[in-house]
Structure 1
Amino acid sequence: MNSPESATSAPSAASDTDLRSWLRTRVAHYVQLDVADIDTTATLTTYGLDSVYALTLCGDIEDHLGLVLEPTVAWDHPTIDALTRHLEETLAQTSPAGESG
């Protein structure tokens, strides 16, 4: 098992993994692929995600997380991994440190 590599990001691993999984599921739904076929390091355009789907994804994220995002968020952070990192940072800035709810 390669746990030493994942241990470097352990503090945020739980929420990061949940959010990444949710994003993978949404993208898979839009492009009608199995979630397992969605590579979180591939650009969203690789899967044919166009501007309409990118705006829809932005709206879904806003609803899911209660955030207001720029409509270009999917283009500014073009992979699920990059988008997850950005959203985690945004959530951390909008919530008091150590508080969740």
Structure 2
Amino acid sequence: MNSHEPAPSASSAPPDTELRSWLRARVAHYAQLDAAAIDTTATLTTYGLDSVYALILCGDIEDHLGVALEPTVAWDHPTIDALARHLEETLAQAAPSGESR
């Protein structure tokens, strides 16, 4: 029940990190929508992404970030915000101590 559209700079929204923007663009591509139309708090299934798209997204993420992921990652973290947070945590844990990118 969206009675109003959130402002693009809504203070309640998480920061639009590079990874979150990339994920939003990928979901928009799959859903054939403009990236601005993608709500990062909505479930991926809201945009018609089924298990096939979830696997494709997982492969795209692996290629983009150079990490191996469980094929269920998009179902375990069903929104762009949740997925971005999980991936950022995964990348932080994978980085050697004392090194920053």
TM-score, reference length from structure 1: 0.82
Q: Which runs of 5+ in 2 are unaligned?
A: 1-10
Identity of aligned residues (%): 82
RMSD over aligned Cα, in angstroms?
2.0
SS of alignment partner, residue 41 of structure 1? coil
**Deviation of 1:99 (Å):** 1.9
Deviations 1:32-83 (A, max 9, x none): 0000000000000000001110000000000000000000000000000000
**Counterpart of 1:54?**
54
Distance 1:29 1:99, change over 3 A: same
**Counterpart of 2:39?**
39
Q: Which runs of 5+ in 1 are unaligned?
A: none
Distance in 1 (alpha carbons) for counterparts of 2:97 and 2:84 = 18
* 1:67 paired to 2:67: yes
**Counterpart of 2:24?**
24
Q: How many residues align?
A: 91
Distance in 2 (alpha carbons) for counterparts of 1:80 and 1:26 = 10
Letter in 2 for 1:95: A
TM-score, reference length from structure 2: 0.82
Distance 1:93 1:31, change over 3 A: same
**Deviation of 1:97 (Å):** 3.9
**Deviation of 1:98 (Å):** 4.7
Letter in 2 for 1:45: T
